[in-house]
């Protein structure tokens, strides 16, 4: 059975710092399986019944959050100058160690996953996983039929970097849906740049089979279940 330090348990369950967790332990109001715990280094089972002042706490080893990222927000955990996606999370979902899985440019919107599970984050972003990511792009000119084949064959970017084959679906009014399975820096903007188009708007629609809920407004979040997380890898 996996064990965890009681101060880390409290930090996660109560969304407090380790320092605050130690202060709570000193109060004598923390019990684990009916026994008062005072020392922060005490290890308990992750399935232990922990109470604070008689109220049972809920512990989740990891949390997975789906955000409809708004424009102008940085995909980062912290930044001294501008707001990040972690900054705008609702208080009930905040905890230490959260980070965005991959990056969306500051002005790109749409599906973004935020978690504290490092192994999961690496698996999703690794090019070896070949997880498809779908984007809706608004362009500054007409998307020609010949571009579909160019994207399908794998574009060579202006600096010589090669992209894996991508799917391009042409929509009306200078819009297109692009599906890629990697995440190079500004990749979609650079891909369209090769065919002479600028990207005015960009929105991520899906990662794997996990799609952005149509009713989730920009800036809103939902917590994902393990079954929903599994859709990414299906």
Catalytic residues: 105
Copy the structure tokens of residue 220. Answer: 């809103």
Q: Are 220 and 64 in contact (CB under 8 A)?
A: no
List of E strands, 35-116: 35-36, 43-45, 50-52, 55-56, 64-69, 99-100, 109-115
Query: Nearest CA to 67 among 122, 105, 97, 109?
Result: 109
DSSP state at residue 44: E
Copy the structure tokens of residue 132. Answer: 């498809």
H or E element in which residue 194 lies: helix 187-194
Q: How far is CA 101 from the centre of its chain?
A: 4
Copy the structure tokens of residue 17. Answer: 């710092």
């Amino acid at each position: 059975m996996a064990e965890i330090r009681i101060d880390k348990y409290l930090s996660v369950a109560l969304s407090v710092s380790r320092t605050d967790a130690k202060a709570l332990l000193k109060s004598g109001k923390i019990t684990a399986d009916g026994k008062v715990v005072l020392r922060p280094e005490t290890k308990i089972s992750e399935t232990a019944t922990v109470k604070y002042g008689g109220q049972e706490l809920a512990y989740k080893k990891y949390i997975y959050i789906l955000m409809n990222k708004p424009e102008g927000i940085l995909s980062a955990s912290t930044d001294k100058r501008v707001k990040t996606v972690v900054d705008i999370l609702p208080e009930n979902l905040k905890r230490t160690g959260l980070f965005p899985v991959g990056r969306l440019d500051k002005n790109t919107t749409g599906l973004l996953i935020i978690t504290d599970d490092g192994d999961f984050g690496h698996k999703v972003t690794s090019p070896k996983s070949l997880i498809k990511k779908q984007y809706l792009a608004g362009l500054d000119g007409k998307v020609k039929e010949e571009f579909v084949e160019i994207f399908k064959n794998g574009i060579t970017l202006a600096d010589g970097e090669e992209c894996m084959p991508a799917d391009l679906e042409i929509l009306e009014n200078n819009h297109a849906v692009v599906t890629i399975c990697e995440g190079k820096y500004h990749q979609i903007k650079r891909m369209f740049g090769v065919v002479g188009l600028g990207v005015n708007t960009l929105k991520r629609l899906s990662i794997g089979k996990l799609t952005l809920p149509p009713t989730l407004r920009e800036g809103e979040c939902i917590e994902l279940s393990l079954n929903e997380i599994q859709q990414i890898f299906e």
